[in-house]
């Protein structure tokens, strides 16, 4: 494996001291504050919807593709969702070519769960011919530059790409999807926007949206998918523990931050 330059131990001490004493981060942010978010639309015109998300120096691209297929036997009138995420070796010296490793798999699964469980997608409306033909929505996420918190950037990108996606025209006669002819119809989405917030424990502090330097110092992480105060997915990561009070506090931090991020997405998409 490549040698990875992680945050030096003395810097880690400084990060913790500064958070505890001043309630601040090296880049001047408060503990519960996100970096600047920008979203660029249509990074690939070949996608039904695609975006580039920048959270500070962290960058991901997300694309929505759609395909028609037979429904699953247990849900004949529902469409499908498939979320994949790849940690591109291009995006950091930490990621290697080859089959996905556990960090990439976790990244994809947590993002998938957050979107799936929130009720963001109205799967009934993705049915074209009951029992025969339904839309599968593929949401593919790629890291371009990892400067921390790829986890939350992925969901932000997925939400944004899904919001701007247009369903392609379906030529029933020839049973063909005409990808170059998008309809005016967007995806059937609900108001349950599944914003995911990862709360990290660093020393005695709980923070959101860590930079890479901070993420290296994070002892443990709780990723909370929620919409307007209702939590629909959770993932506690890494082998260190939270105190009970800390985890209760993390729920509140995430609930507050998710509303802020929801508005940030709205604003960035305008």
Partner 1 sequence: MERKIVIPGEMIIEGEDYLPGENTEKRDGKVYSSRYGLAEEQSNLVKVIPLSGVYHPRRGNAVIGKVENVLANGWIIDIGAADSAFLSLMEVPRYVNKDAMEEVLTIDDMVTAKIWSINKRGIDLSLKGRGFGKIEEGLIFNVNSNKVPRIIGKEGSMIKIIKENTGCDITVGQNGTVLVEGNKIEDELFAKKAIMYIAERSFISGLTDLVTKWFTEQGNKK
Partner 2 sequence: MAFKRPDGRKITEMRPAEAKVGVVPNADGSAMFKSGKTIAIAAVYGPKKMHPQHQQNPRTGQLRCEYNMISFSVDDRIRPGRNRRAMEISEVTKWALEPVVDLKDYPNQVVDVHINIIQADAGTRCAGINAAAMALAHAGIPMKNMVSSISIGKLDKTLVVDLTKEEEDFEEGEGPTDIPVSITSDGKITHMQLDGMIEVKQLQESIDMAKEACKEVYKIQKDALKKFIEDKSEGLN
CB of 133 to partner 2, least distance (A): 17
Residue from 7, 12, 67, 169 binding partner 2 (CB under 8 A): 67
Torsional sign, CA 90, 93, 96, 97 = positive
b/e code 103-131 from CB counts within 10 Å (16+ = b): ebebbbebbbbbbbebbbbebeebbeeee
Closer to partner 1 at the Cβ: 10 or 174? 10
How far does the chain reach from its first CA to its final CA, in angstroms?
42
What letter does residue 148 receive in the DSSP assignment? S
Identity of the residue, 6 or 84, whose beta carbon is nearer to partner 1 in the bound complex: 6
> How do strand 80-86 and strand 133-145 relate by DSSP bridges?
parallel
Q: Which partner, partner 1, partner 2, none, binds residue 47 by CB below 5 to 8 Å per kind?
A: partner 2
Q: Could you say which of partner 2, partner 1, none residue 13 binds, taking C-beta under 5 to 8 angstroms by partner kind? A: partner 1
Per CB under 8 A, 92 contacts partner 2: yes
- Residue 154, phi then psi, degrees to nearest 5: -60, -50
Residue 99 DSSP SS3: coil
* Residues 120-179 interacting with partner 2 (rule: CB under 8 A): 138, 140, 142, 144-147, 179
Query: What is the contact surface with partner 1 in residues (CB under 8 A)?
Result: 3, 5, 8-11, 13-14, 17-18, 21-22, 26, 213
Instruction: Name the residue nearer to partner 2 (CB basis): 89 or 203.
Output: 89
Q: In 36-190, which ranges are E strands? A: 37-41, 49-55, 58-69, 80-86, 127-129, 133-145, 166-171, 176-186
What span, in angstroms and rounded, lies between the C-alpha atoms of 113 and 146? 22
The residues, ordered by sequence, that sit 6+ positions from 244 with a Cβ below 8 Å of its Cβ are none
Q: Look at residue 18 and give the partner it binds from partner 2, partner 1, none, a contact being a CB closer than 5 to 8 Å depending on partner kind.
A: partner 1
Q: Which of 36, 173, 175, 180 binds partner 2 (CB under 8 A)?
A: 180
**Residue 216 binds which entry of partner 2, partner 1, none, with Cβ cut-offs from 5 to 8 Å by kind?**
none
Tokens for 114, please give them: 């957050």
Q: Work out what residue 128 binds among partner 1, partner 2, none; the CB cut-off runs from 5 to 8 Å by kind.
A: none
Decide if residue 181 touches partner 2 (CB under 8 A). no
Looking at residues 5 to 44 of the shown chain, list those that interact with partner 2 (rule: CB under 8 A).
43-44
Binding site for partner 2 (CB under 8 A): 1-3, 43-47, 50, 57, 61, 63-65, 67, 84, 86, 88-93, 97, 99, 138, 140, 142, 144-147, 179-180
């Amino acid at each position: 494996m490549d040698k990875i330059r992680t945050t030096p131990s003395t810097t880690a001490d400084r990060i913790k001291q500064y958070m505890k004493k001043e309630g601040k981060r090296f880049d001047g942010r408060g503990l519960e504050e996100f970096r600047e978010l920008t979203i660029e639309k249509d990074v690939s015109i070949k996608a039904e919807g695609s975006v580039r998300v920048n959270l500070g120096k962290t960058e991901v691209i997300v694309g929505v593709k759609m395909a028609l297929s037979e429904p699953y036997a247990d849900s004949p009138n529902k469409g499908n969702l498939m979320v994949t995420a790849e940690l591109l070796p291009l995006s950091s010296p930490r990621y290697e070519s080859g089959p996905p490793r556990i960090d990439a798999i976790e990244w994809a699964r947590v993002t998938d769960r957050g979107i799936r469980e929130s009720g963001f997608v109205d799967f009934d409306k993705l049915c074209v011919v009951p029992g025969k033909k339904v839309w599968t929505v593929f949401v593919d996420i790629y890291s371009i530059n990892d400067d921390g918190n790829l986890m939350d950037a992925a969901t932000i990108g997925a939400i944004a790409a899904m919001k701007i996606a247009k369903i392609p025209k379906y030529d029933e006669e020839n049973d063909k999807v005409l990808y170059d002819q998008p309809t005016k119809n967007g995806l059937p989405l609900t108001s349950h926007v599944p914003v995911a917030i990862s709360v990290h424990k660093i020393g005695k502090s709980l923070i959101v949206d860590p930079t890479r330097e901070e993420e290296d110092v994070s002892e443990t992480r709780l990723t909370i998918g929620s919409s307007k105060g209702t939590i629909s997915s959770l993932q506690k990561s890494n082998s260190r523990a939270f105190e009970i009070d800390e985890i209760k506090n993390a729920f509140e931090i995430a609930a507050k931050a998710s509303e802020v991020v929801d508005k940030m997405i709205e604003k960035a998409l305008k």
